[in-house]
Amino acid sequence: MKHYTSIHDIDNIKAWVEDAKALKQDPLKHIELGKNKTIGLLFFNSSLRTRLSTQKAALNLGMNPIVMNVSGDAWGIEFGDGTVMNGNTAEHIKEASAVVSQYCDIIAVRAFPTLTDKVKDESEHVMNSFKKYASVPIVSMESATGHPLQGLTDAITIAEHTKVTKPKVVLSWAPHIKALPHAVANSFVQAMQKMDVEFVIANPEGYNLSPEITGDTPIIHNQEEAFANADFVYTKNWSSYNDYGKVLNTDSSWTITKDKLGEAKFMHCLPVRRNVVVEDAVLDSDSSLVIEQANNRTFAAQLVLKKILENNK
Ligand code: CP
């Protein structure tokens, strides 16, 4: 594996989950592996967990992290080929990516979708441009269509908390006031499709994710029906895929409540809007795994960086 930009970069998710659990037991075991290596974390968008957990992961491997808010602090980057750069962009990705490659042994990038231009978003033009023009490995810290560090984290968390041979996992849409990306949901779907779980998606009409992502996974438009006998309810809002980037529904009857959850464990990638997406009684209960999930972000990132360092010795 050179780059990590998709759940499909995981060759054996069960083995990766076991490796991540081992790292969690002894986080500093490979502190020499990243000695004198630098990782650049480039953020086009806000972050709390990804920013801190990826730095922590790098530090646990002995690496030196450099962090930059690209949108605020760098020159505006041009991604178009052949563009006459007489507008707001001052530096082309060809130079930017090549230059950062000289300072860093790994480059990690966060770049959200436009949610207005489906074709552009699905082309993953930012992540793929970094991959094309960098001379070092690229790690996605969430792109237009995927959040593979989060998806790996979620697989680890479910594996840690599974008490039956084949748990039932539900991905449930929940309301939100803003148009949000599909990335977290997409990567969660892809991760669950690789796991030994019974997996269904619950969302209102008009909110089906890309059929290329969902494939054969059942999609149920009745939340109560979907939640029956669930062991894990993973909740996330996303905007419409078909009516691309639109908020069609803020129906609070899809908010996650303690009653609906029953005996299931609650998961969410965070940040989460309390009493919009999920009620306080869920987040403040023992059913919630959200803090443990956030902790596992470090070990998912650490495993990915370790594999890249080992592959590029
Ligand atoms: N879950 C997640 O990616 O959190 P941040 O947006 O805070 O990094």
The domain tally of the chain equals 2
Same domain for 278 and 170?
yes
142 shares a domain with 169: no
pLDDT in tens, 220-271: 999 999 999 999 999 999 999 999 999 999 999 999 999 999 999 999 999 9
Residue 253 lies in a domain: yes
pTM over 0.75: yes
User: Which residue's CA lies nearest to atom 4 of ligand 1?
Assistant: 49
Asked whether residue 281 falls in the same domain as residue 300, the answer is no
Residues 251 and 262 placed together within one structural domain of the fold = yes
Query: Are 79 and 160 found together in one domain?
Result: no
User: Do residues 84 and 13 share a domain?
Assistant: yes
Nearest residue to 212 (alpha-carbon basis) of 226, 193, 232: 193
At 312 the pLDDT is 85
pLDDT in tens, 137-169: 999 999 999 999 999 999 999 999 999 999 999
Minimal CA–CA distance to 155: which of 192, 121, 185? Answer: 192
Q: Is the pLDDT of residue 30 over 80?
A: yes
Same domain, 277 and 182: yes
Q: Among the atoms of ligand 1, which is closest to the Cα of residue 50? A: 8
Structural domain boundaries enclosing 181: 148-293
Residue 28 banded pLDDT, cuts 50, 70, 90: very high
Residues 139 and 170 in one domain: no
276: in domain = yes
> Under 8 Å CB-to-CB from 179, ≥6 apart: which residues?
115, 239, 245, 246, 247
Rounded CA separation 81/92 (Å): 9
Distance CA 247, CA 178 (A): 7
157 in any annotated domain: yes
For atom 1 of ligand 1, which residue has the closest CA?
269
Rounded percentage of the chain residues whose pLDDT exceeds 70: 100
Same domain, 18 and 132: yes
In a domain, 2, yes or no: no
Ligand 1 atom at shortest distance from the alpha carbon of 53: 8
Residues 286 and 153 in one domain: yes
With respect to residue 86, please indicate whether it lies within any of the assigned structural domains: yes
Query: Ligand 1 site: residues with CB under 6 angstroms?
Result: 47-50, 142, 150, 269-271
**Banded model confidence at residue 313, pLDDT cuts 50, 70, 90:** confident
Question: Do residues 199 and 275 share a domain?
Answer: yes
Q: What percent of the chain has pLDDT over 90?
A: 98
**pLDDT given for residue 72 in this prediction:** 87
**Average pLDDT in the chain:** 97
Query: For residue 18, what pLDDT band results from cuts at 50, 70 and 90?
Result: very high
Decide if 121 contacts 183 (C-beta within 8 A).
no
Q: Is residue 1 situated within a structural domain?
A: no
Average pLDDT (205-216) is 98
* Residue 140 belongs to a domain: yes
pLDDT for residue 252: 96
39 occurs within a structural domain: yes
Asked whether residue 52 falls in the same domain as residue 171, the answer is no
| CATH number of residue 77's parent domain | 3.40.50.1370
